[in-house]
Amino acid sequence: MSLLQHNTGFTFTKAERLCSKKAIDELFSSGKSKTQFPIKLIYKFSEFDGAFPVRALFIVPKKKHKRANKRNVLKRRMRETYRLKKHTLYNVLNFQKMDIMFVYLSNQSISYFDIDKCMTLLIDEMIKSIGTKDMK
């Protein structure tokens, strides 16, 4: 039974969120990145205890978006896209664990459909790079 079958429906729970400051610092320092403007993806294989193979973090810098409500809307849009697309990533990972972070780079707010398109391209690029490399 795959990991996706254990998780009924397309949810994004607390256990799937990247919250550890140590893990976030490690991801910033030694993670690999891909950019599809206006979103940057940083990812790294890691070891952690959890039911899910991927922990995710979504960042919208306060420096670029001063109003909290605008930051929250952009993070909600990114989380929603990830929630719907994560099963493709789960199917590629063979019982390996990964931390990922999505950083919003633009000063402008963009629509959900544009965010969806950018994040889908980023996730597909990451899957291709994972598939071509020897995963140890």
**Minimal CA–CA distance to 100: which of 33, 29, 14?**
33
Q: Which residue has the tokens 């959900």?
A: 112
d(CA 121, CA 35): 10
Query: Which CATH number does the domain housing residue 77 bear?
Result: 3.30.230.10
Question: Residue 38, preceding bond cis, omega within 30 degrees?
Answer: yes
d(CA 71, CA 1): 38
Render each residue's pLDDT in the chain as its tens digit; 136 residues: 344 444 446 899 999 999 999 999 999 999 999 999 999 999 999 998 888 999 999 999 999 999 999 999 999 999 999 999 999 998 888 889 999 999 999 999 999 999 999 999 999 999 999 876 644 4
Q: Is residue 86 exposed (0-12), middle (13-18) or buried (19+ Cβ within 10 Å)?
A: buried
d(CA 116, CA 112): 6
Cβ atoms of 83 and 10 within 8 Å: the answer is: yes
Structurally, the chain folds into a number of domains equal to 1
pLDDT at 51: 87
pLDDT at 9: 66
| Segments forming the whole domain that contains residue 126 | 3-132
User: Encoding tokens for residue 108?
Assistant: 């402008």
What are the C-alpha distances in Å from 79 to residues 57, 64, 74? 9, 19, 9
